[in-house]
């Protein structure tokens, strides 16, 4: 079964009970998939949570498989950012790093941010739009 690296927006939606993300997580786990994060996600989530959400936030993040950002990953992120930049596509460092983690560890990224990853980044990306869960259809 594949391991899914979660984009930060998807984690935040799950924490806030929005867009059926909690149900999505439950279904993926029941199917035997692993859910994962990296330091980018942890940093972004902790930057925006409110103090009364700390226990729930920590519990969710610690339940995810953690992929460290190693030298090969940051090298790949830099190369992605450089190569796409040379072709007129600007990638945020955080997005390039999530793509690099996805590529390096042969994961699939789950995101609802088509704008950040639809620009040709050669990673396995599963898109979920921002519609309610009953209307959400994944696209690859």
Check whether 6 has a pLDDT greater than 90: yes
pLDDT tens string 52-83: 888 999 999 999 999 999 999 999 999 988 98
At residue 130, the pLDDT reads 39
| Arch. (CATH architecture) of 3-135 | 3-Layer(aba) Sandwich (3.40)
Cα torsion angle, 79, 125, 11, 101, sign: negative
At residue 21, the pLDDT reads 86
At residue 116, the pLDDT reads 58
Residue 91 CA from chain centroid, whole number = 15
Task: Answer yes or no: pTM beyond 0.85.
Answer: no
Listed by start position, the domains of the chain span 3-135
pLDDT tens string 85-132: 898 888 889 989 998 999 899 998 888 776 655 555 554 555 444 343
pLDDT tens string 7-17: 999 999 999 88
* Helix extents (H) in the chain: 8-15, 21-30, 39-48, 54-63, 71-86, 93-104, 114-117
Residue 56's contacts (CB-CB under 8 Å, 6 or more residues apart) are 15
Where does the pLDDT of residue 50 fall: very low under 50, low under 70, confident under 90, or very high at 90 and above? confident
């Amino acid at each position: 079964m594949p391991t899914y690296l979660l984009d930060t927006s998807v984690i935040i939606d799950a924490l806030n009970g929005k867009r059926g993300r909690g149900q999505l997580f439950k279904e993926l786990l029941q199917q035997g998939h692993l859910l994962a994060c990296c330091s980018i996600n942890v940093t972004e989530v902790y930057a925006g949570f409110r103090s009364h959400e700390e226990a729930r936030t920590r519990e969710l993040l610690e339940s995810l498989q953690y992929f460290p950002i190693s030298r090969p990953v940051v090298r790949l992120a830099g190369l992605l950012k450089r190569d796409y930049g040379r072709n007129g596509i600007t990638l945020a460092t955080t997005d390039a790093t999530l793509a690099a983690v996805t590529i390096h560890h042969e994961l699939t990224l789950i995101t609802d941010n088509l704008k950040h990853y639809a620009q040709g980044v050669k990673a396995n990306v599963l898109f979920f739009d921002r519609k309610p869960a009953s209307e959400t259809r994944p696209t690859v």
